[in-house]
Chains A and B, each alone.
Chain A
Amino acid sequence: MAHFEKANSIGEWLDQRLAVNTLKKVMQTEYWIPKDINFLWAMGMVLAATFGILLVSGIFLLMYYKPDTNLAFDSVNYTIMSEVGYGWLWRHIHGVGASLVFLIIYIHMFTGIYYGSYKKGRELIWLSGMGLFVAFSAEAFSGYMLPWGQMSYWAGMVITNLFSGGSLEAYGLVEWIRGDYVPGDAFLTRFFMLHVLLIPLAIIGLIVLHFGTLRIPHVNNQEGEEFDYDEAAELYKAGNVKDSKVIPFSPVFLSKDVFVMGVYFIFFFYLVFYHFDFAMDPVNFDPADGLKTPAHIYPEWYFLWSYEILRPFSKDLGLVAFAIAQVIFFMLPFLDRSPNVAPASRRGLFKYWFWLMLVDVIVLTFMGKLPPTDALFANIGLVSAILFFVLWIALPFITKSEKKL
């Protein structure tokens, strides 16, 4: 057993047993972040905060939610909304948070793409981040089933049907996923388990991994500059904070994060109190009815772009396209053949690739919600979906020909 001296303070007592002073250095005061950053670098902490809000509001909702097809709808819309003190607040926070978390994820992703923050040693940051995107998508989908409204039921029907594999007609697999021929009680209870336990656990694990992957390659900076962190850190510790290229995570980087979070929370709670409708589709306020298909079935906005890649093609081709679209972003670090880590504006053709991709995904998102019966919208959707793949096929070629900076 180790030898312990009598401690003179609680801090010292903890330090002897947990090495808290070392921990604080490693995780905060001597965790070095580049100084040349903008507010987009705070999106990681904004995401962590939003996840925290979703977790806390989810715990409160979980106390009153009933995962049973006969009770679920009213437990959400009556018990939580009318009988539980501030139940409405937790529900609106949870609904708005679920939507905003995707907005921030997309901003975070496109920031990474713009600044090339997935290259040269940072591949795992990107891959674990994409893992988080997939986990959040599964979390959002499973959560959407729980109120057991019309959109829950029919979204569940449509998405699980995808697993029949088009012409493969693997209906056995679909039934296995549903636990029934159609979405029912078995379906609801298993998605409830996924939403409140298994997927959150995976998300927490992936967040830890995501933070871990940052440690060695370090956070990227606005110019993609490569510099000696130890040297910069020594300069900072010596008191020359003006010339040093780094800042400590806490309190300098954190102070800016907290300010950005403040601005974000104003926006967040404005939506929670005055504009929550966008995050809670009216159709889902009709109870699930397997005999009545809604006039329009569409996913929440954050899935629309991939939904639109599924829609304009024939059944099998659409499924293949959809499957590729789900995983293609994982491939980004390997399809980008350029040696440059730099903002897209300095990277020649890649600059156009970036903005085209961003606009294309937004156009796909628009078309994904519009009725496909309109020929104009259907054609715009088809062209955008084809462009999406053309851009991915072109990526290795245009980045290969990029001049070294």
Chain B
Amino acid sequence: MKELKIFGIVAIFTLVLYWGVEPFAHSQMHKHVESNGFAYNGAADIEEVEAAKKEEKVKVKKAFWADVAKVAKLKGNVAAGEAGFATCMGCHTGMPINMGGVIPPKLDHAGALYSKNYLIALIKDPAMASNVDHKYKDTMTHPMGSIKAMMADDQQIADVVAYIMAKKAGEVTTKEAFSEACGRCHAMRYAKTTQLGDTPKFKYEKDALAHKIKVIDEQNAVKAYMGKLPPDLSIIIRARSAHFLETFVENPQGQLPGTSMPRVGLTHEGYEKVKTYLEEVGDPSKPAREDLGPKVLLFFLIFTALAFLWKKAMWKGHH
């Protein structure tokens, strides 16, 4: 009994110590950002400019997101949208060709990955949708900025988005989700993939080096456009908390005010796919861990039970 009391005291002090240096310390060190459930309605954007007391901006943003909500209510015509979508294909070719700083993303699974509201907002004004309009206030224009002139009609936007949601929403693998949503800016060296896609195997070193130069050129272009090279995401899943990653992807400005990272508009399911891929590459031992863990613990439970019996036998008659 006395031993149990001592054990209780040791356990309580240990748990208090743990609570203080882990959950409590981390809650104090990182600001808390609420998740908005992957709803792209501009609420966070408006709050940010309100907090910064930028009256003009508040008006502009409110009007913009009200417009987006209006378009979202229109009934899109899939057949009509197909013609409009052809405009998109002018740049979104799926080829790794840099345009104005970045490679335009592939749209093969856009309907499965991105939110409808976000796509509408993006066509209306890419910089506003991505919540990086602060980057383009002077002379720079968003690489997709010309879309505003090319697709100004609300009904046309609704049609194109309806087409994307209907026809570009096929089954998407976790890897496709990552490379379409993140891969044009972020490399992942542990998965042997760069901004130019998967690195092929080369027979000759000369070819490998030539490819490497292409990668460096692309990275330099992205760097010039973004201000710094976006980090390699190989083990980002272990470098950031799950909550940080989720809220950061929803709205990068919420976690890192002023960052040049655009919001990419993933739906919750789309984000889950990306996250799964990050886990597969950055934390590949998870299945093995979950498989081996119970076995090792069972071993030590039996070990401890036997040790207890041995102890009882050895101490017999000692008290």
Show the binding face of A for B, using Cβ within 8 Å: 35, 38-40, 74, 77-78, 81-82, 86, 88-89, 103, 107, 241-242, 247, 251-252, 255-256, 258-259, 261-263, 265-266, 269-270, 272-274, 278, 280, 282-283, 285-286, 295-296, 301, 304, 358, 362, 365-366, 369-371, 374, 377
Contact = CB atoms under 8 A, between A and B. Distances in A.
Contacts of A283: 239
Contact of B20 (A103, A282, A366): A366
A88 to B, nearest CB: 4
Interface in B264-297: 284-285, 288-290, 292-293, 296-297
Interface stretch (B87-95, B215-223, B305-313): B305-313
22 contacts: A74-B190, A77-B190, A82-B190, A88-B288, A242-B319, A252-B318, A255-B313, A258-B310, A258-B311, A259-B310, A262-B308, A263-B304, A266-B300, A269-B297, A269-B300, A273-B292, A282-B240, A301-B17, A362-B20, A366-B20, A371-B29, A374-B28
Closest 10 CB pairs of A and B: A262-B304, A273-B293, A88-B285, A285-B239, A366-B20, A255-B314, A369-B25, A259-B307, A255-B311, A301-B21
Nearest to A361: B17
Given A251-B314, A366-B25, A266 B301 contact: yes
Nearest to B312: A255
Interface residues of B, number: 50
A148 to B, nearest CB: 13
Contacts of B21: 301, 304, 365-366, 369
B36 interface: no
Nearest to A263: B304
B218 to A, nearest CB: 21
Given A255-B315, A366-B20, 12 more contacts: A86-B288, A252-B318, A255-B314, A262-B307, A265-B303, A269-B293, A274-B293, A295-B29, A304-B21, A366-B25, A369-B29, A374-B28
Contacts of A270: 297
B274 to A, nearest CB: 18
Interface stretch (B2-10, B101-109, B172-180): B2-10
A252 B314 contact: yes
Contacts of A304: 21
Given A81-B284, A265-B300, A252 B315 contact: yes
Contacts of B293: 269, 273-274
A362 B13 contact: yes
Contacts of A252: 314-315, 318
B14 interface: yes
Interface string B234-270: 1110111100000000000000000000000000000
B18 interface: yes
A82 B297 contact: no
Contacts of A35: 318
Nearest to B284: A82
B22 interface: yes
Nearest to A374: B28
B149 interface: no
Given A256-B315, A266-B297, A38 B2 contact: yes
B202 interface: no
User: What's the dominant secondary structure at chain B's contact region?
Assistant: helix
B204 interface: no
A276 to B, nearest CB: 9
Contacts of A74: 189-190
A370 B25 contact: yes
Given A82-B284, A269-B297, A285-B235, A241 B304 contact: no
B144 to A, nearest CB: 30
B44 to A, nearest CB: 22
Contacts of A262: 300, 303-304, 307-308
A136 to B, nearest CB: 18
A89 B292 contact: yes
Nearest to A35: B318
